[in-house]
Amino acid sequence: MHFDAIARVPGDPILGLMEAYAKDSNPNKFDLGVGVFKDAQGLTPVPVAVKVAEQRLLDSQASKSYVGGHGDATFGRLICELVLGNESPLLQAQRVGTTQTPGGTGALRLAAEFIKHCLPGRGIWLSDPTWPIHETLFASAGLAVHHYPYVGADNRLNVPAMLTALESAPKGDVVLLHACCHNPTGFDLSQQDWLAVLEVVRRRELLPLIDFAYQGFGDGLEEDAWMVRRFAAELPELLITSSCSKNFGLYRERTGALLVSSKDAQKLLDVRSQLALLARNLWSTPPDHGAAVVAQILGDPALKHLWVEEVDAMRQRIAQLRTGLVEALAPHGLRERFAHIAQQRGMFSYTGLSAEQVTQLRERHSVYLVSTGRANIAGADAARLDALAAAIADVCR
Ligand code: LMR
């Protein structure tokens, strides 16, 4: 038969955890696996601003005809402003354009196809470690994947090693940088570190691809954009992927964008003509609903204000869970060992737990995290941090 030679492959390591967690009948289980925000009730809520925008769309949407290849122009402009700032000179000079994509992953895939087809021979440099889908997505698109050190076996950020590796990258190669809330480690670079990276990128003539999936989850919507805006101000060309999954809570609506900045408006038109063609071959035209919601929110000052408050509340909850967990670990003599959890940013923490300890946590305590020791801190329950800390202490004995 045609399919006889097809082998079964293991499922996605992150999404597989969602299924395993759902099947676990232990009422005291913890879901620290897939990167979704959870509130105090353990739910991943639809933000109120999104609900209001959806109601407006329901009442006013007159057509579901296709949006163009680059998506909705209003969404594109508003995302540019969110990412680069309202006053960005790039917007005024028409040096930046947006292509609406199915989520941040769609934006990454479009960027990968763009590099493969329009910048042939360029390799891509990923942090070690990085989000596992970065590894497979760029390889699937046919790019040569290289790595720069980021967090070592001691579970510490190693910026000098990162800079040394980037120095060795061939001129013209692409370097993927996590703007904030590094996935999977939660360790972010300081502003000073970013300036050092910028210097190497400029000198080695590398092309940055900035993955901006967690805007607002680190230090704030504006604060998290600092490195993106600095790179955009100082470099003539840049690729940026933006995701609305987390900060707008639109996960399943698949809402994101690829932003490209170019040396001038004319060259940008050339680049965008290629992106439209590539997107046509990938998904034809992007899904509309999530982007229409985002455009409603960002285009209405009152609704935007409500949304900013909701993002702030999500960020504050994660920050409190981080410090709360370290406090809860203290009576077990583990405060020092896990102090980094309070310093990391965003949803994720590279805890430093081994694969074996992760297995023990799951088998003995129904605590689910990725085998690399990555925990989604946003999945923890503030009322049960003592139980979580006791489980961690048990596997650390
Ligand atoms: C994660 O890393 O858990 C999230 O980015 C969700 C995903 O798609 O893997």
Residue nearest to atom 6 of ligand 1 (CA): 35
- Residue 15 pLDDT greater than 90, yes or no: no
Give tens-digit pLDDT for 27-48. Answer: 999 999 999 999 999 999 999 9
CB of 35 closer than 6 angstroms to any ligand 1 atom: yes
Question: Could you give the residue numbers annotated as active site?
Answer: 131, 211, 246
Q: What is the pLDDT of residue 13?
A: 82
Pocket test for ligand 1, best of 14, 181, 214, 253 (most atoms within 8 A of CB): 14
d(CA 168, CA 280): 36
CB of 18 closer than 6 angstroms to any ligand 1 atom: no
Pick the CATH number of 66-299 from 3.40.50.150, 3.40.640.10, 3.40.190.10, 3.40.718.10: 3.40.640.10
Confidence tier at 300 by pLDDT (50, 70, 90): very high
Q: What is the pLDDT of residue 12?
A: 86
Ordered DSSP codes for 180-245: SS-TTT-----HHHHHHHHHHHHHTT-EEEEEE--TTSSS-TTGGGHHHHHHHHH-S-EEEEEE-T
The domain segmentation of the chain, as residue ranges, is 13-45+313-395, 66-299
pTM: 0.96
CB of 131 closer than 6 angstroms to any ligand 1 atom: yes
- Provide the mean pLDDT of the chain: 97
Q: What is the pLDDT of residue 368?
A: 97
Q: What is the pLDDT of residue 288?
A: 97
Confidence tier at 274 by pLDDT (50, 70, 90): very high
The helix or strand, by DSSP H or E, that contains position 312, with its residue range, turns out to be helix 301-329
Q: What is the pLDDT of residue 234?
A: 97
Q: What is the pLDDT of residue 45?
A: 95
Residue nearest to atom 1 of ligand 1 (CA): 35
d(CA 150, CA 160): 9
Give the mean model confidence (pLDDT) for residues 118-132.
Answer: 97
Domain 13-45+313-395 class, CATH top level: alpha beta
Q: Which atom of ligand 1 is nearest to the CA of 183?
A: 2
CB of 183 closer than 6 angstroms to any ligand 1 atom: yes
d(CA 314, CA 316): 6
Closest listed residue to residue 131, CA positions, set 386, 374, 318:
374
Distance from the alpha carbon of residue 266 to the mean position of ligand 1, in angstroms: 36
Q: What percent of the chain has pLDDT over 90?
A: 97
CB of 14 closer than 6 angstroms to any ligand 1 atom: yes
Pocket test for ligand 1, best of 31, 131, 250, 349 (most atoms within 8 A of CB): 131
CB of 34 closer than 6 angstroms to any ligand 1 atom: yes
* 349, β-bridge pairs: 375
Q: 112 versus 10: which is more confidently predicted?
A: 112
Distance from the alpha carbon of residue 238 to the mean position of ligand 1, in angstroms: 24
Distance from the alpha carbon of residue 356 to the mean position of ligand 1, in angstroms: 22
Give the mean model confidence (pLDDT) for residues 68-91.
Answer: 97
Pocket test for ligand 1, best of 34, 109, 254 (most atoms within 8 A of CB): 34
Q: Which residue has the tokens 């470099």?
A: 235
Confidence tier at 14 by pLDDT (50, 70, 90): confident
Q: What is the pLDDT of residue 328?
A: 98
Q: Which atom of ligand 1 is nearest to the CA of 376?
A: 3
Closest listed residue to residue 41, CA positions, set 353, 359, 365, 384:
384
Give tens-digit pLDDT for 160-218. Answer: 999 999 999 999 999 999 999 999 999 999 999 999 999 999 999 999 999 999 999 99
Ordered DSSP codes for 359-370: HHHHHHH-EE--
